[in-house]
Amino acid sequence: MKRILMTLPMVLVLILGAFLYWGLNPDRNPNEIPSPLLGKSVPDFTLAGIDGVDVGGFGSAELSSGGIKLVNVFASWCVPCRAEHGVLIKLAARENVQLYGINYKDKPTDAQQWLAEMGNPYAAVGSDFSGRVGIEWGVSGVPETFIVSPDGVILYHYRGPLVGDTALRDFGEGLRRAREQIGQS
Amino acid sequence: MFKHCVLILAFVIALPSFAVEPDEILDDPILETRARDISANVRCVVCQNEPIDSSNAGVARDLRLLIRERLVAGDSDDQVYDFLVARYGDYVLFKPPWRPSTYLLWLAPFLILGGGIIGMVYALMRKPQNPHAGLNADEQAQLDELIGSNNEGDAT
Phi and psi of B38, rounded to 5°?
Answer: -65, -45
Q: Which chain B positions have a beta carbon within 8 Å of A136's beta carbon?
A: 87
pLDDT tens-digit series, residues A15-38: 999 999 998 988 787 777 778 899
* Cβ-nearest to A33 among B58, B62, B88: B88
| Contact present, A113 and A76 (Cβ < 8 Å) | yes
Residues 6 or more apart in contact with residue B114 via CB below 8 angstroms:
none
* Cβ-nearest to B45 among A36, A37, A140: A140
Instruction: Give me the total of CB pairs closer than 8 Å, taking one residue from chain A and one from chain B.
Output: 43
Peptide bond just before A30 cis, omega within 30 deg = no
What is the share, in percent, of chain A residues with pLDDT greater than 70?
Answer: 99
Determine, for residues A36 and B48 on separate chains, whether the beta-carbon distance falls below 8 Å: no
Residue B34 maps to a domain: yes
Collapsed DSSP state (helix, strand, coil) of residue A142? coil
Other CB atoms within 10 A of residue A77 CB: 15
Domain that holds residue B19: 12-95
Collapsed DSSP state (helix, strand, coil) of residue B94? coil
Q: What is the CATH number of the domain that holds A179?
A: 3.40.30.10
B43 shares a domain with B115: no
Residue B59 maps to a domain: yes
Domain that holds residue A146: 35-184
Sign of the CA dihedral with A21 first, then A23, A24, and A30 last: positive
Separation of alpha carbons B19 and B54, rounded Å: 5
Residues in chain B whose beta carbon is closer than 8 A to a beta carbon of chain A?
45-46, 48, 58-59, 62-63, 66, 85-91
B116 shares a domain with B86: no
pLDDT in tens, chain B (156 residues): 788 888 887 777 765 556 777 788 888 889 999 999 999 999 988 887 889 988 888 888 899 999 999 999 999 999 999 999 999 888 889 888 888 888 988 999 999 999 999 989 988 888 777 767 778 888 888 888 888 877 765 555
Determine, for residues B87 and A131 on separate chains, whether the beta-carbon distance falls below 8 Å: no
Long-range contacts: B42-45, Cβ < 8 Å, 24+? B42/B67, B42/B81, B42/B84, B42/B92, B42/B93, B42/B94, B43/B91, B43/B92, B43/B93, B43/B94, B45/A33, B45/A140, B45/A141, B45/B88, B45/B91, B45/B92
- CA distance readout (Å), A84 to A64, A73, A79: 26, 11, 9
Determine, for residues B88 and A141 on separate chains, whether the beta-carbon distance falls below 8 Å: no
Q: How many domains does chain B have?
A: 2
* Cβ-nearest to A33 among B63, B85, B91: B91
Overall size of chain A counted in residues:
185
Domain final residue pick, B49, B79, B95: B95
Domain final residue pick, B74, B95, B116: B95
pLDDT tens-digit series, residues A116-175: 999 999 999 999 999 999 999 999 888 999 999 999 999 999 999 999 998 999 999 999
Residue B117 maps to a domain: yes
Determine, for residues A37 and B62 on separate chains, whether the beta-carbon distance falls below 8 Å: no
Residue B78 maps to a domain: yes
Q: What is the CATH number of the domain that holds B31?
A: 1.10.8.640
Separation of alpha carbons A143 and A81, rounded Å: 6
B57 shares a domain with B104: no
B59 shares a domain with B118: no
**How many Å lie between the alpha carbon of A93 and the closest alpha carbon of chain B?**
31
Q: How many domains does chain A have?
A: 1
